């Protein structure tokens, strides 16, 4: 099994049906496949029912050996992913369930699901950017003409449209990136993804506020950051500045994985200096008081202290008293 240890809440993002909703059974799989040859709403319903089956690990072997199902679902994905975010989410989620087990990764590769997922992510990023730009323009129009009721209503409609898009995108983006993370255990696949601009996509996600999405994205960046060329790409894309708003975080998992990424990045002298320039030092010092993050922060601070330019800055902080206090207490 892959992807273990990353708690992104995926299990709760697609709840199982309640008593009054349609429940899927393996016996009806053929009828669900027939829905994939119908209109868009039928395809959404059919893929939703197949997803119910895929979320039960006991069904995965049978689903993975059903070529008719795999071919039909991948065909709909390839042909119709732009038509509905709900349809895309259902299908990506089905393949994500398979991707959680390494023995099914050949299926993901055979149907080129990883490549399609990257196309979907790129498309959704563009949609978000376009709608965000529209919202900002309408905000400016409201400021220029604050008494115009119609302009205000139009701006509010666009704002609500953006919020709806973000909510729908978050599940799709999480499940798509998680699938990509799972299949990236093969470094050859990881390299292909890097060459298709995976890192800029991940860095773009750091602007989002959904903590489960951020945990997943930062976990992926941490994995990628061990290679110098990936770390250099992250530096060019402003990763140190983008992570600043996350430190500190009340979410323990998010804080932990962010510090792990920063620790990886702190092996680079230029990035260490950038951390100091961007104002990380007082944030790190404050985190020393938190026992759960203390060791990680000490490692980062040790790396920063290796720079002659930065070591003098420690005398203006509470670092030395904070670090030495536990030792004094033990005497």
CB-facing half-sphere around the CA of 73: CA atoms within 13 A: 33
Say how far apart CA 111 and CA 70 lie, in whole Å.
8
Say how far apart CA 199 and CA 137 lie, in whole Å.
29
pLDDT for 307 = 75
Max CA-CA distance within the chain? Answer: 76
| Three-class DSSP labels, 186-254 | CHHHHHHHHHCCHHHHHHHHCCCCCHHHHHHHHHHHHHHCCCHHHHHHHHHCCHHHHHHHHCCCCCHHH
- How do residues 72-113 score in pLDDT, each as one tens digit? 999 999 999 999 999 999 999 999 999 999 999 999 999 999
Which residue positions in the chain have pLDDT lower than 70?
Answer: 1-21, 308, 310-331
- Residue 147 tokens, joined: 């008494």
Supply the pTM of this predicted model: 0.88
- Residue 331 tokens, joined: 């005497």
Query: CA of 120: how far to CAs of 13, 54, 181, in Å?
Result: 19, 21, 15
């Amino acid at each position: 099994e892959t992807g273990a240890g990353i708690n992104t809440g995926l299990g709760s993002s697609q709840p199982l049906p309640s008593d009054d909703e349609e429940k899927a059974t393996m016996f009806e799989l053929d009828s669900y496949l027939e829905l994939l040859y119908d209109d868009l709403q039928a395809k959404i319903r059919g893929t939703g029912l197949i997803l119910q089956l895929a979320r039960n690990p006991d069904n995965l072997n049978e689903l993975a050996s059903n070529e008719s199902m795999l071919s039909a679902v991948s065909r709909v994905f390839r042909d119709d992913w732009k038509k509905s975010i709900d349809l895309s989410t259902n299908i990506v989620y089905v393949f994500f369930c398979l991707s959680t087990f390494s023995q099914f990764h050949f299926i993901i590769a055979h149907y080129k699901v990883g490549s399609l997922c990257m196309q979907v992510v790129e498309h959704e990023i563009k949609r978000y950017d376009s709608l965000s730009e529209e919202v900002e323009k309408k905000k400016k129009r409201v400021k220029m003409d604050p008494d115009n009721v119609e302009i205000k209503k139009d701006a509010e409609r666009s704002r609500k449209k953006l919020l709806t898009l973000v909510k729908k995108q978050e599940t799709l983006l999480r499940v798509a990136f998680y699938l990509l993370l799972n299949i990236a255990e093969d470094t050859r696949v990881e390299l292909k993804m890097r060459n298709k601009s995976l890192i800029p996509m991940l860095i773009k996600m750091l602007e989002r506020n959904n903590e489960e999405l951020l945990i997943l994205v930062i976990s992926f960046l941490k994995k990628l950051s061990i290679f110098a060329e990936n770390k250099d790409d992250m530096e060019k894309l402003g990763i140190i500045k983008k992570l600043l708003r996350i430190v500190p975080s009340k979410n323990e998992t998010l804080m932990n994985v962010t510090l792990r990424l920063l620790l990886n990045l702190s092996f680079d002298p230029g990035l260490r200096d950038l951390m100091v320039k961007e104002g990380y030092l007082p944030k790190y010092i404050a985190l020393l008081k938190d026992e759960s993050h203390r060791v990680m922060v000490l490692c980062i601070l040790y790396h920063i202290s290796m720079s002659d330019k930065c070591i003098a800055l420690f005398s203006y902080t509470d670092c030395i008293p904070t670090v030495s206090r536990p030792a004094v207490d033990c005497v």
